[in-house]
Amino acid sequence: MSGKPSFRWVKMLIFLTILIGLAGYSYNKVSSNSQEPPQPKKDGGQSGLGVESMVSDSKQERYAIHYPVFRIKEIDEQIKDYVNQELASFKEDNAKAQAQHEDGPFELNIKYKVVYYTKDAASVVLNQYIEAGGVSGTTSVKTFNADLKQKKLLSLQDLFEENSDFLNRISSIAYQELKNRNPSADTALLKEGTSPQEEHFSRFALLENEVEFYFEKKQTGLEQSVKIKKEWVKDILKDQYQDMKKSRLQAKREQEPVPLPKQAKINPDEKVIALTFDDGPNPATTNKILNALQKHEGHATFFVLGSRAQYYPETIKRMLKEGNEVGNHSWDHPLLTRLSNEKAYQEINDTQEMIEKISGHQPAHLRPPYGGINDSVRSLSNLKVSLWDVDPEDWKYRNKQKIVNHVMSHAGDGKIVLMHDIYATSAEAAEEIIKKLKAKGYQLVTVSQLEEVKKQRGY
Ligand code: ZN
């Protein structure tokens, strides 16, 4: 009896040590705004809205998290805290499962949609997919509603007059609506899941004319949302949330196609190498790489995420204007092979459309996140799938010299190098790699140019 508890303590300590080690080891944070030098031309629209991403390309622990930044500290920190907590608990479950020798795939994917946005208010819906520790994939929803003027997040209660019976009202509307829509639904579960408790309605989005409520499968048996017209709760909804302006996000702008430069002349008899950069764009670091390419008359391919490209159109345009190639790395970095064909198609196609909208040009190459590809994903588009030969694991090491050494010692004629333009260390390494490869007589080409050279060489 006396030996057992202390043994448990030792086990717990070891486990904690591993956890802390793991957390420190693979915590990948990309800051889109902290290192940005002051630039006259702001990339990210007129608004303050931006995006941050945390991506791990590890096959043992895949995650891709994207969340919005409003550049209002009080709000951004709460959203950041939430995603950090989700990531920490994913890592914890993952470590437990791996300690029990469970095999993956382990994946966490958090994506978001800004469903309403003006200078006064914003509503964000986060969709989370998690697969860890033997649990088959589950989805969940989290919402954030912000009063941007008062710089605070809103709870449901904040929307309604004090002492009003808002929960009863919403509860009965939601129950009726879901029941009408799904006559064969489990009535008892539905009734319980929509009973008038604040936690049942904590996932909501404040829109121009409605408040939308999101329900999870485990709560109501249905993964559906219900929009409640503001008119229906007019008597209890606070004035400032009655008349909301039209969201800026509804305005779409058309773009002139970006002029492409004359193709650089490439000698197929001389060494070529294709540098590729994934997971961006991220203006501060991506521009550093673009500067180096420009300086040394080289080109590269940027496999961008549609979800990030939408915020940084100027960076995408610059890539193309300077003769680089823009490739498709999906919308928000899920493992495409686990998605339904419809969802995987959407990931690829939405990104194609976003880049087309920004630049007037569509990518010709797809780099699937985590390199995960199969015939069915291949068949979804006519994009060529582009993987890589040299992988310095720059996302993991975050060490400039280590990255430079790995790439330089593995570089070779006709090779494709994988790096990530969202990290400062990778951008610094790239500056040096570009200079060194050039000095060694390499032509720095895009993936399409590399294919062309290989064709000319006859293989
Ligand atoms: Zn990636």
Q: Positive or negative, the Cα torsion across 310, 315, 321, 322?
A: negative
- Out of 3-7, 242-246, 303-307, which region has the weakest mean confidence (pLDDT)? 3-7
- Does residue 84 have a pLDDT over 80? yes
- Does residue 44 have a pLDDT over 50? no
Check residue 35 and give its pLDDT: 34
Q: Which amino acid is at 344?
A: A
- H/E stretch holding 188 reads helix 187-193
What is the CA(243)–ligand 1 centre distance, in A?
A: 42
> Which residues form the catalytic set?
278, 420
Stronger pLDDT, 135 or 112, i.e. the higher one: 112
- Does residue 102 have a pLDDT over 90? no
Check residue 134 and give its pLDDT: 59
What is the CA(444)–ligand 1 centre distance, in A?
A: 21
What is the CA(178)–ligand 1 centre distance, in A?
A: 38
For the stretch 260-303, pLDDT in tens is 998 878 999 999 999 999 999 999 999 999 999 999 999 999 99
Q: Contacts for 234-237 with beta carbons within 8 Å, 24 or more apart?
A: 235/164, 236/160, 236/161, 236/164, 236/165, 236/166, 236/169, 237/159, 237/160, 237/161
Mean pLDDT of 212-230: 93
What is the CA(227)–ligand 1 centre distance, in A?
A: 35
For the stretch 135-178, pLDDT in tens is 578 899 999 999 999 999 999 999 999 999 999 999 999 999 99
- Does residue 430 have a pLDDT over 70? yes
- Does residue 233 have a pLDDT over 70? yes
Check residue 335 and give its pLDDT: 94
Stronger pLDDT, 253 or 451, i.e. the higher one: 451
Check residue 58 and give its pLDDT: 79
Stronger pLDDT, 32 or 141, i.e. the higher one: 141
Within 375-423, where are the H helices?
375-378, 394-397, 400-410
Q: What are phi and psi of 327, to 5 degrees?
A: -110, 170
- Out of 10-24, 119-133, 379-393, 405-419, which region has the weakest mean confidence (pLDDT)? 10-24
- Average pLDDT score over the chain: 87
d(CA 409, CA 399): 16
- Does residue 43 have a pLDDT over 70? no
Ion ligand 1 nearby residues (CB, 5 A): 278-279, 369
Query: What pTM did the predictor assign?
Result: 0.75
What is the CA(334)–ligand 1 centre distance, in A?
A: 9
- Does residue 80 have a pLDDT over 50? yes
Give the rounded percent of residues in the chain with a pLDDT score beyond 90. 73
Check residue 245 and give its pLDDT: 86
Check residue 246 and give its pLDDT: 84
- Out of 44-53, 126-135, 177-186, which region has the weakest mean confidence (pLDDT)? 44-53
Give the rounded percent of residues in the chain with a pLDDT score beyond 70. 87
Domains along the chain?
A: 23-153 (3.30.565.40), 161-237 (3.90.640), 272-457 (3.20.20.370)
Cα 453 to its chain centre, rounded Å, is 33
